[in-house]
Amino acid sequence: MPTLDDIAAQLQGYDPQALSVDQVQEFLSRLVQPVVATEAVGLVSALGRVLAQDIISPLNVPPHDNSAMDGFAFDGRQLSSATALQFKVVGTALAGKAWAGQCRAGECVRIMTGAVMPQGLDTVIPQEMTTSTQSDGDMLVTIPPDRVRPGDNRRLMGEDLRQGEVSLSKGELLTGTHVGLLASLGIETISVYRRLKVAYFSTGDEILSLGDSPREGAVYDSNRYTVHGMLVRLGVDVVDLGVVRDDPARLQDAFSQGAEAADAIITSGGVSVGEADHTRQMMKQICAESGGVAFWRIAMRPGRPMAVGQLSRPGGGRTLLFGLPGNPVAVMVTFLAFVRPALLQMMGARPKPAVLLKALAAQPIRKKPGRTEYQRGWVFCTPEGELQVRMAGNQGSGVLSSMVQGNGLVVLRHDQGDVAAGDPVDVMMLDGLV
């Protein structure tokens, strides 16, 4: 288990007072250890879990060649581009009820979508491309020239998933699509990593809990709710430890409670260098013997101060501490930039680069080189179909309302300077994350 000092020593140019966003992400990716315990779950419980095994397809999907259309199946070798063909219909193949006969030249089989292709037949013409007539009790179908080629409208056995091949690999964070795919293979139970447990609390004498009466100089706790939302979106189990006063004994108590119960503890507030920033002192004290703590000044906006620590748990294992800044938007931004990727890694999920949208700035944006900025923006599509982003309200680090007015965070890179109207910028969309 690496200590924070070990990792700091591995990183080139590590200066806790001046870290770039990339360096912080790199630091955390080296610190985090994925969970190892697994459990078996049924498919209805698999959504949002991380796959702990490779899935080898036990069968072919589809299990047999079948028709992609309602129409008529025939042997495509008879097709000619010059003339229409007329076939006698000699049977019907339904989905789930194959036609077992044998077709001869000049004959076809009426076939429904999903029905097994009768032996020797490889081509289906959709019903709407044909005309049919009755003659002596027989149904005759006319196929115009140049409408289908041999092999058309036939789905091949195993074209979706091939028996014996890996269809999903370990580390996949399962969405409804993955679960559907597992179901298509007839798989009922899978092995997933155990769920993470994450505890969180807010700190500060001025922080009110819901139900408290307003008082001068105090504000209601919003961080616990935004953090809760982002944790639930990640699919972890949560432990809410409430609001903790700026009081060493209570803080110590909250940290020990969290460490007993959780893989990670997320706090907000109290990590800058203010007089009452007891969280910082307490993290220093409790992490001293078990892996250490680092206090960072990150070249970013919002979200400059942040602390990371680790605590050894009495029964083995460890708990990671994330001391986020206090300002409500800084909390959300540091969570999305650092805590979320770290927790995903801890959950056992394979790292995936964040997919950012490229949108054109609808207005000039001021930006100082030498820090990463996350600005709240509203991404929209112009009538011409161009993706643009305009800034959403007051960009203060405590202004949560502009987080609501925006639908994404414009990510302005470390070295980037001012952005002119019309320049492309990266946007992290908030949908599904918060």
Closest distance to ligand AMP from the beta carbon of 96 (Å): 58
In the region spanning residues 254 to 273, those forming contacts with ligand AMP, defined by CB under 6 A, are: 268-270, 272
List the end-to-end C-alpha distance of the chain, in Å, as a whole number. Answer: 31
Q: Compose the 242-281 pattern: x for residues touching Mg ion by CB under 5 A, - for all others.
A: ---------------------------xx-----------
- Which of Mg ion, ligand AMP, none sits in contact with 222, Cβ below 5 to 8 A by type? ligand AMP
Using CB under 5 A as the binding rule, whether residue 71 contacts Mg ion is answered as no
Query: 47: which DSSP letter?
Result: T
Among 38, 113, 163, 222, binds ligand AMP (CB under 6 A): 222
**For residue 203, how many other CB atoms are within 10 A of its CB?**
28
Pairing, β 237-244 against β 305-312: unpaired
268 binds, among Mg ion, ligand AMP, none (CB under 5 to 8 A by kind): ligand AMP
Q: Which window, 13-21, 286-294, 309-317, 323-331, contacts ligand AMP (CB under 6 A)?
A: 323-331
Q: Which of 310, 327, 375, 416 binds ligand AMP (CB under 6 A)?
A: 327
Q: Residue 24 burial (CB < 10 Å; 0-12/13-18/19+)?
A: buried
CA angle at 55 for the pair 53 and 56, rounded to the nearest 5°: 135
> Would you call 191 helix, strand, or coil by DSSP?
strand
Nearer to ligand AMP, 93 or 306 (CB): 306
Q: Residue 240 CB, nearest distance to ligand AMP (Å)?
A: 12
Of positions 70, 107, 206, 237, contacts ligand AMP by CB under 6 A: 206
Indicate whether 204 belongs to the interface with Mg ion (CB under 5 A): yes
Positive/negative CA dihedral, 207, 213, 218, 224: positive
Residue 325 binds to Mg ion (criterion: CB under 5 A)? no
For the CB of residue 278, give the shortest distance to ligand AMP in the complex, in Å.
10
Torsion of CA 139, 142, 147, 152, to 10 degrees: 30
**Which of 348, 51, 64, 67 minimizes the C-alpha distance to 182?**
51
Render the burial of 156-170: b for 16+ CB within 10 Å, e for the rest. ebbeebeeeeebbee
Find out whether 418 and 366 touch, Cβ atoms under 8 Å.
yes
Minimal distance, residue 346 CB to ligand AMP, in Å: 24
The single residue among 31, 32, 125, 207 that binds ligand AMP, judged by CB under 6 A, is 207
Does residue number 323 form part of the binding site for ligand AMP (CB under 6 A)?
no
Q: Which residues pair with 426 in a beta bridge?
A: 358, 411
Question: In this structure, are residues 331 and 400 in contact, taking their beta carbons and an 8 Å threshold?
Answer: no
d(CA 127, CA 129): 5
User: By CB under 6 A, is residue 325 in contact with ligand AMP?
Assistant: yes
Q: Which residues here bind ligand AMP, judged by CB under 6 A?
A: 202, 204, 206-207, 219, 221-223, 268-270, 272, 274, 325-328, 398
Q: Which residues here bind Mg ion, judged by CB under 5 A?
A: 204, 269-270, 326
